Amino acid sequence: MSGDSIGAEQRLFFGETPESLSSWAVGHGLPAFTASQLLRWVYERSVTDPGAMTDLSKRARELVASGFHFAVGVPLASQLATDGTRKLLLGWRESPSPSGLTILEPPSRRTECVMIPTEDRRTACVSSQVGCPVGCRFCASGIGGLEGNLTAAQIVEQVHRLRLEPEVGRISHVVFMGMGEPLANLAEVQQAIRTLNAPWGFGISARRITVSTVGLPAAIRKFCEFDLPVTLALSLHAPSDALRREIIPWASYSTIAELLDACDEWFRRTGREITLEYILLGGFNDLPAHAEELAVLAKRLRANVNLIRYNEVEGLPYRRPRTDDVRRFQDTLRDRRVNAHIRVSRGRDIAAACGQLRHQSLGGVSPVP
């Protein structure tokens, strides 16, 4: 496989739309309805082998096989937790020149995606970038910085690959809470959301798609223009600028007040409330005084608060908070009439922290069969 390449004439299927597929079909002498046939095979039936698309003519199957590539991610590792959480490490084929996508084995550009199950939902947590430019001090995703953006096709492919895993099946929710800052790759993220939401795509309700941002005021305002009613979550993680700057380098570029102003505009223009994400770091930001400060911010936005217990990352100095401290923090918020939930920790017996599996793999991982 080393040295093989995908020709420049091959298109990434997960980046296509009904219009682009129809145009391709007609341009190759095929009926326009070939587009709807292809979409049904891939999105409804999870079939990406053109040879198995039995309602296409032999010539159509051959053209599809030579014209499209259905997966550019190489599975490098798969982990299953005892609670059913599934984490995949994907390596992405490089694109160093106009001659096409060159396959490197194993690919050095790696991201994670996770399927989180509950009784009534299957949530895909996807990455939007390779690495992360934000560099939060407690997070493994940003170790090594940003290597590049993922395309919309690569984002959608993560959902496709997760649903093919044993006992996963249909994905009901998607959260952009994996590696990367989604609003720093806004155009590709928006295109991916359209495919995830579209009736011809995965058909996932926009209200079941959440985009999480560390907070870019200008990007939040631009995102207000997006016409699909997705949920926006702000990764706040500290109730004051001074404390936030200790753990989030990008907090130096904008104050909490500026973030709240942008979030106010989001609510005015979309009518949808913001969710505040708050990761609890033991002994750092989990004191009752911090909860009191956070309550003031949450009430201003009329925001729900998701409290997240930190999953430790080897080599980083932060620790998981004590259960009593987490409960006390939640009680303080609720006493001040803030709707606060403690997110259930999932995948604790695997590399649960965001970016941790990728970080552990940097010494080299062979593709899984």
Return d(Cα 39, Cα 18) in angstroms, integer: 8
Please answer whether residues 145 and 133 qualify as being in contact, where contact means their C-beta atoms are separated by less than 8 angstroms. Answer: yes
Helix (H, G, I), strand (E, B) or coil at 307: strand
Tokens read off for 193: 């959301």
**Identity at 271, one-letter amino acid code:** G
Q: What is the DSSP letter of 23?
A: H
Return d(Cα 159, Cα 202) in angstroms, integer: 9
Return d(Cα 110, Cα 106) in angstroms, integer: 10
Tokens read off for 311: 């999953």
Return d(Cα 309, Cα 279) in angstroms, integer: 6
Q: Point out the residues that are catalytic.
A: 112, 354
Region class of 11: left (phi > 0), else alpha (psi between -120 and 50), else beta:
beta
